[in-house]
Amino acid sequence: MADPALVWRRVFELAGRGRYSTSPNPRVGAVVVSADGTIAGEGFHERAGGPHAEVAALREAGEKARGATLYVNLEPCAHQGRTPPCADAVIAAGVSRVLASLEDPDPRTRGAGLARLRGAGIDVETGACAAEAARMNEIFLGSVSSGRPFVHLKWASSLDGKTASASGDSKWITGPDAREESLRLREECDAILVGSGTVRVDDPRLTRRLGWNRSVVPHRRIVLDGDASVPSGARMFDPIPGTEAWLVTARAADDPSLSSFRARGVHVVAAAAAEGRFDLGDLLQALGRLDVRSLLVEGGGETAWTFLAAGFADRVTAFVAPSLIGGQGAPSPLAGEGYPSVSRLPALDDLEVERIGRDLRITGRVVFG
């Protein structure tokens, strides 16, 4: 007889295989346990447009799916998208019981899949391993619920909270293992954003150079630059197949200074708001409409502060090196005006701390006070 705890572990192992490929869809794993208590089939969702996890598991189980129990970390979908509804496939296979960790927040499903299963006489239970399921799909769940990308702030700093020396030297604060882990974060995000200072100082390409991402969502490389001061010849604007370069500026859309960017194929977004600030809400909603589920904010204390102060930070990951830089003028991960009082500060919840080589990776969900 299959141990339910081990079956659930396998479900999440399978779901995790889609870390770099499923966007804009969720990461889902499924296991079919036959009526005799043995595992008859398993599957995971690999890529949008491909078979969903439930369908893959049911195909592997074949006739053994009849009278079986299906374990899955997210509600089977009930809508026709790139593929037919999974709920219909579960019913047709003759499954007698479905254990789903979470309800799908997608308005096209949102409980309709579970209701359809129950209407067909299938025993449905939800809630098992819900916390783990929410962590597995925090990007999808957060994005679908908010209509904007899940925003992940990432930085590397010394133990005394400096991202560079007072002279601007920052290569390299963290070791090679932490830098490799940072590149993995890029691979699972649909877009990377930096501020203009990062482009002027570091001239990054903002690529996902590990080559692991296989999602259908084009990779967006974005710079926030109010006065369009970065050079149009910057490396991040180089044309790369499967990517788009974006310049987000407070200048008017018809400003002639933007023509050199457009000539290079750069997507220019005029996002001015009051007092020369960016309207981040409009920018994020525009990205959400393009199925950008996740945005990795990498560059600069001012840029990170802009997102945090606007309430658009969902997760923070800090790579902290066991080194001390000092310097009153040395930059820190967060700049801006800061919060005036420590009584109600944003905090990190569900904190995870891990040793990465010689450094620490500290990550948690942002909770606003």
User: Which residues are catalytically annotated?
Assistant: 54
CA–CA distances in Å: residue 297 to residues 96, 141, 154, 185, 316: 45, 19, 6, 11, 9
User: Which residues is 315 bridged to in the sheet?
Assistant: 152, 365
**Contact between residue 163 and residue 155 where contact means Cβ atoms under 8 Å apart:** yes
**Contact between residue 269 and residue 284 where contact means Cβ atoms under 8 Å apart:** no
Cis status, amide bond into 149, omega within 30 of 0: no
CA–CA distances in Å: residue 71 to residues 40, 68, 116, 188, 322: 12, 10, 17, 25, 43
Q: Which residue has the tokens 């970065």?
A: 230
Whole-angstrom distance between the N-terminal and C-terminal Cα of the chain?
47
Q: Tokens standing for 45? A: 């969702």
**Nearest alpha carbon to residue 193 among 296, 267, 334:** 296
What dihedral do alpha carbons 296, 48, 81, 135 form, nearest 10°?
Answer: -50
CA–CA distances in Å: residue 332 to residues 56, 105, 224, 302, 318: 47, 37, 19, 9, 12
Residue 13: other Cβ atoms inside 10 A: 13
Residue 97: other Cβ atoms inside 10 A: 16
